[in-house]
Structure 1
Amino acid sequence: MNCPYVRRAAEVPAYSPANHTGTSNQRVIGRETVGAQRVEVLLGTITRGHGALPHAHPDLEQASCLLAGAGIGEVAGRQRRLEAGDWSFNPMGVFHRFEVVSDEPVQVMVVYAPPYSENPNAALTATGADDPRCHARDDSVRDVPQHEAPAGLPHYHGVLARPVITRDTVGARHLDIRALSLDADGGAQAHAIPGTEQVLYLQQGAIHGEINGQPFRAGARDWVFVPEGGTLHFQAGGGPCRAILVRAHDG
């Protein structure tokens, strides 16, 4: 079943992003793929010893989830080892960098809100290794909690949602990201969220439902996009599911 709201990485070309080395990105959710205006989601592949050079985004938030491999992330002068399943969050205007340390390439899901689209005016780059902005400590920047207690989610049933990137966890202004665990009969009743775009990334299992009255099916490693104010309902495909729910709004 073809549906313009269901996207796969194989459907989009790869490109080499600015301010990175050894990196290949695929923009799965963006203006040119689904007409997104509030959110952009990339799948990045990065080889050992490479990654993101020190830079900052003055007008957008960035969240990243490692899907495979391991690396060292630095945000606001603080370093942290990240492995598969870990999240990081880069607030507006905060310098950050990332380097792969695993032999296997890193695969990473990157979320921007508002969309980045490789706009050179949306990034500040370091002037060199001694640029004080790269190492400036900012104690207001919080690490993403890894073990927040899951809870229910309005409009959903048979689902536990663990807060990851939210206003409460890291002070996010535009992003609300939760890790979902769905029972075999879990799903969501028809609902719409004004002023918000949504993305579901299926990590395990399958779902089927409708977006704005258009039927869709999605399986593991598929992205499902819900346009601003769009009506979504879905049901698990007969087995347990794991998914990441991204919501982007004005803040």
Structure 2
Amino acid sequence: MEKSLKLQSGQDQHKQAIKHIGIEFRKEWITSYIYEKQKPIPYQSKIPPNDLINAEIAKPIAYMTKLTYAALHKDHEMVSSFLKENDLAWKEVTKYDTKGGLCIYASVLLYLLLLETKCVTKNNLKFLQGYYHHEFMEQHIFHNTYKHGTFGLHSYIELNDYVIDTTIHQIAFLFYPGAHREFYFIGETTEGTNLYGYEEGYKTVYKYAKKIAKSNKLTVEEWLQHHKEKMNDYVLDQLTLPPLKGLAD
């Protein structure tokens, strides 16, 4: 799970956020340039076209959403029908939930799984690292505590300039526990949530993938193949209905 940024009141919150995430990404993660020297790209919420997501593209989105949602809850039962507790996919996602960087891990893997579908190319995809800004409505318990909203390190991807974010449910997990549910952003963002990102190229994505795969003593190709198999197991699990009582007797 990503940590909220601790910013000082009375100062420009976005300038502070940019400075904080710039230092954080250089210190703990991978960047190809100094973020503070440029302005982040604000994402504008928009309704995606009906043909943006086909059946093949939907598979990795659903897989990553389920995987990260279960990790947030630290509940293996949510994925036990297609994933064993000692499987590297479960170990990875819980590792990044615990240490931070779940959104980076998920965005890297989603980016590469989408490329594997052959439905999109690198020209269609963008990988972004930056932060989210969430403002609370007046009736929310945190409205007075976070008068300028809350900021947090974040990563997401865009397909044809439409956001695809499978870990944004972290905000609901942190601040709306009673209403928390599994969800993702495709094109549209929820009211009060804004995304700001710095675009990184394919080389950065691949560096992340190589590092993660190496930690499992795998090549990037082997690592992706494993996740593709688990993704297909998940899809098959969703299509398999239990037999009705009496019919199997």
- TM-score, scaled to structure 2: 0.26
Larger Rg: 2
Higher strand content, 1 or 2:
1
Higher helix content, 1 or 2:
2
- TM-score, scaled to structure 1: 0.26
